[in-house]
Structure 1
Amino acid sequence: MTGHEMLVDRYAIHGVLGRGGMAEVREGWDTRLNRPVAIKLLHPTLSADPGIRHRFEDEARSAARLCHQNIVTVYDFGEHQGAPFIVLERLPGQTLADIIAGGPMPVSHVRSMLDDVLAGLGVAHAAGVLHRDIKPGNILVSAPGDSMKVADFGIAKTAGAAHTMTGQIVGTMSYMSPERVAGAPASVGDDLYAVGLMGYEALVGRRAFPQDNPAALAHAIMDSTPAPVAAVRSDVDPVLAAVIDRAIARNALQRFASAEHMRAALAGDQRALRGDAVSAGSRPGTKVLEGHPIPSAPYRPQPPRQRVRTYGIAAGVLGVLAVSAFALAMEPASSTPAPQPVSTSTPVVPTPSVAPPPSPVVEQPAPVQPPPGGPAGRGHGKGDNKRG
């Protein structure tokens, strides 16, 4: 589609905001309501694939169920000349990735960003939706007050979406938990782990796991923990440092079990920082596993003999690497180096009550099968994702 073509006699289509492996995002205008919009169009060559169409439709349905100031709003969904499309709110700001590319963020801005993202994810999780691809490129900056909005639910998992193949890996490896890299099912805890990695990256100006080689990256995620925040940035207050260190702990039992729990700890709630259960409003009480914030001790790499146990799940890593080459071709262009996406997961059925994160000891995963269309890209200006 080019020029100023009309979509279903309502939306005027203008320039391209971003392209990715599955879709492109175009700038548009809603002629009925007289407002700017972003229009996400599935690539015509992929429209005939039932699996890809189902994934695209799931994105629309998943995001449309969510109404919150920290989640990008879905306005409409339909089909034009055989190609499905999603109409989204048009945001004028940048992505979090764009901001981090300019250097480490002020501590107060990082705290505000984390609070916004956790607020949006709390609503999504309560609705039974796991994002599964939380990363800086999927966090958009809205103009009013520079608040953050979670975008791109293109690989979100809902109770009604069961077409994802067993063993398939979906998401961006640099922000995956050790359990996900090993092939374990997605969970609320995986979204929160990725939030912690974003906070770390925003504070230090680089990814917690900066390895570019897929093999080295997978082993680093499964075998090591990033240096404590206090060791890499001394001006960070103890509460924020403890929250981020705990969120990205290699031991899943030490992490947060819900967005509400992590958000309360971020606000300085001592009970949440100790690992006590936190009220989630009208939702059923969430069981929080015992754990303590990771101490700000000098960073000590894991000794080789402790890493041997991790290599027992090397089949999961090999499966990830098998998909990496395929994913490299599907990653959209970016103004800054972006982590290489791969595919993951077994079906997950989120429930209204958030379950504790999975044990770090996982079973042998099923063989990895790359998705037909590849993972979603980045924000409006960086790929598939919604971006203003």
Structure 2
Amino acid sequence: MHAQQEVLGGRYELRGVLGRGGMAEVRDAWDRQLGRPVAVKLLYPGASTQPDTRRRFATEARAAAVVNHPHVVAVHDTGVHEGRHYIVLERLPGQSLADVLARSGPLPADHVRAILRDVLSALQAAHSSGVLHRDIKPANILFTPFGGVKIADFGVAKSADTPQTLTNRVFGTMAYLPADRIAGRPATASDDLYALGVVGYEALTARRAYPQENLAALADAINAGRLPPLSALRPDVDPALVTTIERAMARDPRWRFATAQQMRASLDPPVARPQRTGVVLSAAAVVLAVVLVAALVLAL
């Protein structure tokens, strides 16, 4: 006999597990009403009883819904089923950037540039809406069927309606946080850009920028900020992309990008101006012809 299918809200038919985190699991599901695949993020029973966790979960849904951008995983619905809170999300069939790097190794420079451009487009929209993601990392960058990417998991995002009790805590994955943020500085848009710089470094090298497992050692390594230069690890990568990534990751916050738009503008190599030799020669020929005509007139 088949086990009875669990259905949330009389609509979302739960299937396999796509992933598990500290407070929730993500399930593959089917939307019976619209006849389409979806992903459902479902709080664990114990987490659903914790007020702070419920507030964070509600903030995640609202933050992602407010951004509403082609490079952000869409939120379709939210609800509560038998005491468990859930968010219904766009279902992407592709893998995460973390999966691709683990399987394929370093990515070509143009591919990394395209990924950064997509994420920066999403971050620009998020920051313009007053939303900080605060957990940009390869596992939260998902590929679409068409090769583009979308950012997922606004679980620790900060927005205008983030409860004050959660505003000044240091959220996120430490390996993608700058040293001054780890030290307790309030979150800013620049922190998302720093994290994206780390992502870019890892996408080009297929190695963790800061691989330390011990948190104290990891914090010390980030504070020191000593990394093998990208130009040494990937001499084939153009200077514009290398400089953009290394500036985003700068230890001194004054050197980092302030806005996603600023970082996007620096991604591409400068366009070489077309040679104007032909125009110059044409102009010279005209001048020469005028001189010759004048000389002939005077000779007459």
- TM-score bucket (shorter structure): 0.7 to 0.9
Asked if 1:267 is matched to 2:271, the reply is no
1:3, 1:15 within 8 Å by CA — same for their partners in 2? no
CA shift digits 1:55-76 (9 cap, x unpaired):
1111111111121111000000
Q: 1:136 to 1:164 in 2, by over 3 A?
A: farther
Separation of aligned partners in 1, 2:253 and 2:202? 20
In structure 2, what is the equivalent of residue 158 of structure 1? 159
The runs of 5 or more residues in structure 2 that have no matched partner are: 272-300
Other-structure match for 1:49 = 50
1:163 CA displacement? 3.9
3-state DSSP class of the match of 2:67?
coil
Determine the structure 2 residue equivalent to 1:22. 23
Tell me what 1:185 maps to: 186
* Residues 94 and 145 in structure 2, CA contact (< 8 A), matched pair in contact too: yes
Moved more, 2-11 or 249-258: 2-11
CA distance in 2, matches of 1:96, 1:3: 35
For 1:129, which of 120, 128, 131 is the aligned residue? Answer: 131
For 2:218 and 2:73, how far apart are their aligned partners in 1?
30
How far has the Cα of 1:268 moved from its partner?
Answer: 3.8
- Residue 120 of structure 1 is matched in structure 2 by 122
Deviation at 1:262, TM superposition (A): 0.2
Query: Residue 215 of structure 1 aligns to which amino acid in structure 2?
Result: A
* Secondary structure, counterpart of 1:26 in structure 2: strand
Cross-structure match for 1:105: 107
| CA deviations over 1:104-130 (Å, ceiling 9, x no partner) | 111111111110111111111110000
1:142 aligns with 2:144: yes
Alignment of 1:328-347 (within 5 A): none
Distance apart, 1:3 and its partner CA: 5.1
Q: Deviations over 1:277-336 (max 9, x none)?
A: xxxxxxxxxxxxxxxxxxxxxxxxxxxxxxxxxxxxxxxxxxxxxxxxxxxxxxxxxxxx
| AA in 1 matched with 2:151 | V
**One-letter amino acid matched to 1:111:** R
Which string of whole-angstrom CA distances, capped at 9 and with x for unpartnered residues, describes residues 12-39 of structure 1?
1111111111001111111111100000
- Summarize the alignment of residues 35-114 of structure 1 with structure 2, pairs less than 5 Å apart: 35-101=36-102, 102-114=104-116
Partner in structure 2 of residue 224 of structure 1: 225
**Displacement of 1:269:** 6.0
Q: Distance in 1 between matches of 2:27 and 2:93?
A: 13
Deviations 1:143-183 (A, max 9, x none): 12x10100000000001112444753211110001111111
Quote the Cα distance in structure 1 between the aligned partners of 2:239 and 2:269.
10
Counterpart residue number, 1:376: none
What corresponds to 1:240 in structure 2? 241
Deviation at 1:100, TM superposition (A): 1.2
SS of equivalent to 1:132: coil
Aligned position for 1:317: none
Q: Partners of 2:270 and 2:78 in 1: how far apart? A: 41
Aligned residues: 268
Q: Give the whole-Å Cα distance in 2 for the aligned partners of 1:166 and 1:157.
A: 7
Identity %: 54
Partner of 1:321: none
Structure 1 residues 28 and 82: CA distance shift in structure 2, 3 A: same
Q: Distance in 1 between matches of 2:105 and 2:71?
A: 24
**CA offsets, 1:212-267, max 9 Å, x none?**
22111101111223232112110000111111111111111111110010001113
- Quote the offset at 1:45 in angstroms: 1.1
- Contact preservation (8 Å) 1:103, 1:205: yes
Q: Which has the higher contact order (CA 8 A, sep 6+)?
A: 1
**Distance in 1 between the 2:10 and 2:238 partners?**
54
Residue in structure 1 matched with residue 297 of structure 2 by the alignment: none
Tell me the C-alpha RMSD between the 2 structures: 1.4
Higher helix share: 2
Partner amino acid, structure 2, of 1:217 = L
Task: Provide closer, same or farther for how the CA distance between residues 164 and 148 of structure 1 changes in structure 2, counting only shifts above 3 A.
Answer: farther
Specify the code of the residue in structure 2 equivalent to 1:202.
A
